[in-house]
């Protein structure tokens, strides 16, 4: 998606203002990029039309280049497409709040059930899980185990029982124990079928849930749109949870959910650990789709492992594009310490997204970077320009770190690339930076 969009922006270089004519080509690139990212065709059509109308209407803004203007319009439209604001979970006026999870097999329902319980526990809510996948004993065991792991009770009654009946029993048990939130895991099938829908309808009728959340695998791609629409029509959902966002997905599912169902994505799963569930931020997702990296999420994650003031400092530097090798090193070390490379590397501007299989390679390349930064002088670390300007310095760094000169050049280029991207993201009002040529 990113490279397609970059092609779109580049076609506006040298233009003075966005016109009906000069956005035709870039819009074609945007359309192609969205389709390649697995956004469904009707959604793409509406999106492109809406962006085209808005873009031409923006007129000349002093100090803003047309390509930056189009980035902004596309970004705003993406945010709008995904529902604009963060959509909070709704709680019932009188306890218990009941959350029903639905979705196809293997999308992450059972994992999400436990993650969600932990998430709510952290908000001070008492929770109970109901094991509603009554077809496979293994599925019940899985939920019981995860429940233990997050310290939340699981109501299970084996496999010889109808899901609606276990829902009724579980709910009664929850009421007896004054539980704040009940989360019901259900069985999925490989495909949508009538039996699954009927079963869910029965369960829904018994539970009268506050939230019916459709769990969607981010890798689903094009089919996500039809899937969400069908579940919404058949059982009526209140929102969605997008899982496996840490994987190699192209993001299309995120863009389609709201548009086809009118219901927002409320939470996202970014990994297999129980802590890996977060609210869904449309603006951050838009930033990520635009290839500017997910600076905000990144800063937030960094905050978890860095001292507060360090992180603030980093944020300031990102804003002012003064990010130097010291920050780079601090950041890479923090990332390494987090041990969640797949998730975090995808958020670092300029580094792009990695597939799980590339994680090990990424870790290795971080080690290589560290080795090179470590032998830089304090001055070089603070002023990366010194290295950009002098091949003597790069040679020395290469020699002392045992790397090649080409590796050093790459590292320097990468730092400037990150600056440019951060700057682009931070200010449509600023002129975008440019890469210094190495000599």
The footprint of Mg ion on residues 128-187 (CB under 5 A) is 133, 139
Long-range interactions of 47-56: CB distance < 8 A, separation 24+: 47/77, 47/81, 47/255, 50/77, 51/27, 51/77, 52/20, 52/23, 52/27, 55/18, 55/23, 56/18, 56/19, 56/20, 56/23
CA-wise closest residue to 64 among 5, 12, 22 = 12
Q: Which does 271 bind (CB under 5 to 8 A by kind): Mg ion, ligand GDP, none?
A: ligand GDP
Q: In the complex, which residue's CB is closest to Mg ion?
A: 110
Q: Which of 271, 293 has the CB closer to Mg ion?
A: 271
Identified binder of Mg ion from the candidate list 69, 110, 238, 249, rule CB under 5 A: 110
In the complex, minimum distance from the CB of residue 171 to ligand GDP, in angstroms, rounded to a whole number: 20
Toward ligand GDP, which CB reaches closer, 73 or 268? 268
d(CA 163, CA 132): 6
d(CA 201, CA 379): 66
> Of 206, 199, 289, whose CA–CA distance to 251 is shortest?
289
Q: How far is the CB of 270 from ligand GDP (least distance, A)?
A: 6
In the bound state with Mg ion, the residue whose beta carbon lies nearer, of 99 and 408, is: 99
Q: What's the min distance (Å) between Cβ of 274 and ligand GDP?
A: 10
In the complex, the smallest distance separating the C-beta of residue 225 from ligand GDP, rounded to whole angstroms, is 19
**How big is the chain, counted in residues?**
439
In the bound state with Mg ion, the residue whose beta carbon lies nearer, of 9 and 231, is: 231
Query: 276 or 327, CB closer to ligand GDP?
Result: 276
Strand order in the sheet with 265-269: 154-155, 127-132, 181-186, 97-102, 211-217, 239-243, 265-269, 277-279
Contact between 251 and 68 (Cβ < 8 Å): no
Positions touching ligand GDP (CB under 6 A) are 103, 105-111, 188, 243-244, 246-247, 269-272, 276
CA atoms within 13 A on the CB side of 245: 29
State the nearest-atom distance from the C-beta of 129 to ligand GDP, in Å: 12
By CB under 5 A, which span of 85-93, 103-111, 154-162, 279-287 interacts with Mg ion?
Answer: 103-111
- Under the binding rule (CB under 5 A), the answer on residue 331 touching Mg ion is no
151 binds, among Mg ion, ligand GDP, none (CB under 5 to 8 A by kind): none
Q: How far is the CB of 115 from ligand GDP (least distance, A)?
A: 8
- What is each CA distance from 420 to 248, 252, 397, in whole angstroms? 25, 26, 24
Select 171 or 277, whichever has its Cβ closest to ligand GDP.
Answer: 277
Which of Mg ion, ligand GDP, none has residue 266 at its interface (CB below 5 to 8 Å by kind)? none
Minimum distance of Mg ion from residue 287's CB (angstroms): 32
Closer to ligand GDP by Cβ: residue 152 or 369: 152
> What does the angle CA 128 – CA 133 – CA 134 come to, to the nearest 5 degrees?
110
Tokens standing for residue 355: 């597939």
Look-up of token digits 């210094």 = 436
């Amino acid at each position: 998606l990113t490279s397609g969009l970059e092609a779109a922006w580049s076609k506006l270089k040298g233009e003075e203002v966005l016109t009906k004519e000069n956005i035709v080509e870039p819009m074609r690139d945007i359309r192609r990029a969205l389709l390649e990212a697995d956004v469904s065709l009707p959604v793409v059509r509406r999106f492109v039309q809406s962006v085209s109308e808005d873009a031409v209407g923006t007129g000349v803004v002093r100090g803003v280049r047309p390509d930056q203007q189009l980035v902004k319009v596309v970004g705003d439209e993406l945010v709008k497409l995904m529902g604009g604001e963060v959509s909070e979970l709704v709680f019932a006026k009188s306890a218990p709040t009941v959350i029903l999870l639905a979705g196809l097999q293997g999308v992450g329902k059972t994992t999400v059930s436990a993650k969600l319980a932990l998430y709510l526990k952290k908000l001070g809510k008492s929770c109970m899980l109901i094991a509603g996948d009554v077809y496979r004993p293994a599925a019940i065991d899985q939920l019981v185990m995860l429940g233990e792991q997050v310290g939340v009770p699981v109501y299970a009654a084996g496999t010889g029982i109808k899901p609606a009946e276990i829902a009724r029993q579980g709910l009664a048990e929850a009421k007896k124990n004054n539980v704040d939130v009940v989360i019901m895991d259900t069985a999925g099938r490989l495909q949508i079928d009538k039996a699954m829908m009927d079963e869910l309808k029965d369960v829904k009728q018994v539970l009268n849930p506050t939230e019916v959340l459709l769990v969607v695998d981010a890798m689903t791609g094009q089919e996500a749109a039809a899937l969400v629409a069908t579940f919404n029509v058949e059982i009526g959902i209140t929102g969605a949870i997008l899982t496996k966002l840490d994987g190699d997905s192209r993001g299309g599912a995120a863009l389609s959910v709201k548009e086809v169902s009118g219901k927002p994505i409320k939470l996202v799963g970014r990994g297999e650990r129980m802590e890996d569930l977060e609210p869904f931020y449309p603006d951050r997702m838009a930033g990520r789709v635009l290839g500017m990296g997910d600076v905000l999420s990144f800063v937030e994650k960094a905050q978890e492992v860095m001292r507060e003031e360090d992180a603030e400092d980093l944020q300031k530097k990102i804003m002012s594009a003064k990010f130097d090798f010291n920050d780079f090193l601090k950041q890479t070390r923090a990332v390494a310490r987090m041990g969640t490379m797949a998730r975090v590397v995808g958020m670092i501007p300029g580094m792009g997204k990695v597939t799980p299989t590339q994680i090990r390679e990424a870790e290795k390349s971080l080690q290589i970077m560290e080795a090179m930064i470590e032998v830089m002088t304090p001055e070089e670390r603070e002023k990366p320009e010194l290295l950009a300007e002098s091949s003597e310095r790069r040679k020395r760094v290469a020699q002392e770190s045992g790397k090649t000169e080409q590796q050093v050049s790459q590292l320097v280029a990468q730092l400037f690339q990150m600056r440019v991207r951060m700057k682009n993201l931070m200010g449509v009002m600023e002129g975008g930076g440019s890469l210094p040529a190495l000599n």
